[in-house]
Amino acid sequence: MERFDNIPEIALDWRRAGKGAVLATVVQTWGSAPRRVGSQLAISGAGDIEGSVSGGCVEGAVVVEAMEALEEGEARMLEFGVSDGDAFAVGLACGGTIRVLVEPIGAVMPEEMLAELVEARAKRTPIAYVVDTEAGKRHLAREGHTERFRMDRSGFEDDGQTFVAIHNPPLRMLVVGAVHIAQALVPMARILGYDPVLIDPRESFGSQARFPGETILNDWPDEGVQAFGLDSRTALVLLTHDPKLDDPALEQAMGSGVFYIGALGSTRTHAKRVERLRAKGYSDDQIGKIHGPVGLDIGSASPAEIALSILAECTAVLRKG
């Protein structure tokens, strides 16, 4: 999964600075195209570039077309065949073909629309940029396109002319309990594209010595999850199986839009957890959001295998609902 970039933000800054800006977006690929659909390159009127649509093999040609499109104030649809030689140069086994939509900001994509898109991204609000490539009409959508949002999948609709660019916030994983499993889970989650955050009030557990370079909050879990927020692109994983630490965070999460809640513990431990939450007035539907015991049943034995099972279950819930 590709990490959250700042290409729209850079394009907006260039436009507002009076430099002029163009966004080039990969809208379709065939074969082993170097970059996935939705990847973007920003080009300023001064020839500055940021991002990538092909890993380097066609960027030069896109920049030339973008500068001309900016001057003319018109959109362009480009198509490139990436030869086997070029593909090999950027680390691919074979070539492919890509289509790139070039849109000058202002003349084609309204600056106000780009600003609204950037604001949604800053607020971690999933949003889609929808363009009719034949009629030239554009709009932003916060609803609909359910499958595309869930799969992080930009692309053309069945009509072959409506392109939907999905702008999802980065995935985030809040991990309560800086235990051995977390030491395996955090780096594995990062590989899968999550921004992990560790929450543990016990400073001897949640320390830089045990988790070098990681974001660690030595707060009580309910305060920690409140500090980062709980939204539709956030997973919460509870690893302490200590009710004093787990339950306050669970209570925050059950009333939120997080896409995944996982809680460590045996079947017996989870049954007691369910009893406690029912006694506090939580409904079966709310409690049913909790995956406990956490992770897919793959016969995990080691902390790393448990971490693998958690990420597998988390991925299944994210992609399949």
- Condensed to tens digits (0 to 9), the pLDDT of residues 148-177 reads 999 999 999 999 999 999 999 999 999 999
Cα(247)–Cα(222) distance, integer angstroms: 8
138 pLDDT more than 80: yes
23 pLDDT more than 50: yes
Closest CA to 114 of 132, 149, 90, 140: 140
Torsion of CA 300, 302, 308, 309, to 10 degrees: 30
94 pLDDT more than 80: no
Contact 270, 262 (CB under 8 A): no
Q: Place 98 in a pLDDT band, splitting at 50, 70 and 90.
A: confident
198 pLDDT more than 50: yes
Cα(57)–Cα(87) distance, integer angstroms: 8
Q: Place 206 in a pLDDT band, splitting at 50, 70 and 90.
A: very high
User: What pLDDT is attached to residue 3?
Assistant: 47
Ranges in the chain annotated CATH 3.40.50.720: 171-320
Q: What is the mean pLDDT of residues 128-153?
A: 95
Which of 54-63, 192-201, 287-296 is predicted least confidently? Answer: 54-63
User: What pLDDT is attached to residue 217?
Assistant: 93
223 pLDDT more than 60: yes
Classify the C-alpha dihedral 238-239-243-248 as positive or negative.
negative
CATH superfamily of 171-320: NAD(P)-binding Rossmann-like Domain (3.40.50.720)
Mean pLDDT, all residues of the chain: 91
88 pLDDT more than 80: no
pLDDT tens, position by position, 233-283: 999 999 998 899 999 999 999 988 899 999 999 999 999 999 999 999 999
User: What pLDDT is attached to residue 86?
Assistant: 55
202 pLDDT more than 50: yes
User: What pLDDT is attached to residue 4?
Assistant: 52
Across 308-317, b (16+ Cβ under 10 Å) vs e yields: bbbbebbbeb
89 pLDDT more than 60: no
Q: Place 83 in a pLDDT band, splitting at 50, 70 and 90.
A: low
User: What pLDDT is attached to residue 161?
Assistant: 96
Which of 37-46, 94-103, 154-163, 182-191 is predicted least confidently? Answer: 94-103
pTM for the model stands at 0.83
- Return the biggest CA–CA distance within the chain: 69
Q: What is the mean pLDDT of residues 128-140?
A: 97
Q: What is the mean pLDDT of residues 91-101?
A: 71
Q: What is the mean pLDDT of residues 35-61?
A: 89
Contact 224, 240 (CB under 8 A): no
Q: What is the mean pLDDT of residues 48-61?
A: 85
